[in-house]
């Protein structure tokens, strides 16, 4: 419920954006916009103008535009997969966070930013630093309030609670057999919650009220003796 920057770390598919939305909804910024940006999905050549905005004439074809920091005014800006952002842009991001101001490309004026900044990594932070994907100074600036989201294979009975939730959302009418539950308890869930939800949707299409081993999709990695092909590392 404060304005501190939060760094969320979790594997792909663990629900980082959902956690970020929950933080936004419980914060003083809840009535403002929630803007989510996947840094890996945007070319590095466009990121700077998107984040900071531009002024007319700063380069050929440039117009007066507001960047994401300004658009998120009185709200939350969520930067997902920040480890995919160009290192040079990370330095500028660090300056924005520390000074609470942003300068549009081609502008001489600093503009105050008033938004909560949440960031997320899909790889271990220290490994990103060692591999040159994340600036060390930016990491320690963002890591004020770290939130670790464990992979699904380390969350025990959450698998079945989530499956029940997805079943209700999809208006499905199925239950899992004990044999399938046994498989799910030892399966590695490489796609995490995203994989689980896709599986729930698949079960809705089968028409079976009790899901047995024969109802598992052909792509499901199962060794036929009651365990997944690979165990979770924590097992």
- 157-176: per-residue pLDDT in tens? 999 999 999 999 999 889 99
Question: What angle (nearest 5°) sits at the alpha carbon of residue 146, between those of residues 142 and 149?
Answer: 130
Q: Would you state the torsion angle of the CA atoms of residues 142, 152, 155, 83, taken in this order, to the nearest 10 degrees? A: -10
End-to-end CA gap in the chain: 35
Write down the number of H helices and E strands in the chain: 9, 11
> Which H or E element spans position 145?
strand 145-148
Residue 235: the pLDDT is: 41
Is the pLDDT at 234 greater than 60? The verdict is: no
Residue 133 has a CB neighbour count (10 Å cut-off) of 18
pLDDT tens per residue, range 163-209 = 999 999 999 889 999 999 999 998 989 999 999 999 999 999 888 89
What is the arithmetic mean of pLDDT over 125-136? 94
């Amino acid at each position: 419920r404060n304005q501190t920057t939060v760094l969320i770390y979790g594997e792909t598919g663990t629900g980082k954006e959902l956690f970020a939305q929950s933080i936004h909804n419980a914060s003083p910024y809840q009535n403002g916009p929630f803007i989510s940006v996947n840094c890996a999905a945007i070319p590095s050549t466009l990121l700077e103008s998107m984040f900071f905005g531009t002024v007319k004439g700063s380069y050929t074809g440039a117009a007066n535009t507001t960047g994401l920091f300004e658009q998120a005014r009185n709200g939350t800006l969520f930067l997902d997969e920040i480890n995919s952002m160009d290192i040079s842009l990370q330095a500028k991001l660090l300056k924005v966070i520390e000074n609470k101001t942003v300068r549009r490309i081609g502008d001489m004026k600093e503009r105050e930013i008033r938004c909560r900044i949440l960031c997320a990594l899909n790889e271990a932070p220290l490994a990103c630093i060692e591999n040159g994907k994340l600036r060390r100074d930016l990491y320690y600036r963002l890591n004020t309030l770290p939130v670790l989201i464990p992979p699904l294979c380390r969350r025990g009975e959450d698998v079945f609670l989530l499956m029940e939730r997805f079943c209700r959302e999809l208006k499905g009418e199925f239950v899992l057999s004990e044999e399938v539950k046994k498989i799910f308890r030892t399966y590695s869930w490489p796609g995490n919650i995203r994989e689980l939800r896709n599986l729930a949707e698949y079960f809705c299409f089968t028409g079976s009220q009790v899901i047995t081993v024969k109802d598992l999709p052909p792509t499901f990695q199962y060794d036929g003796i009651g365990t997944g092909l690979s165990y979770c590392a924590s097992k």
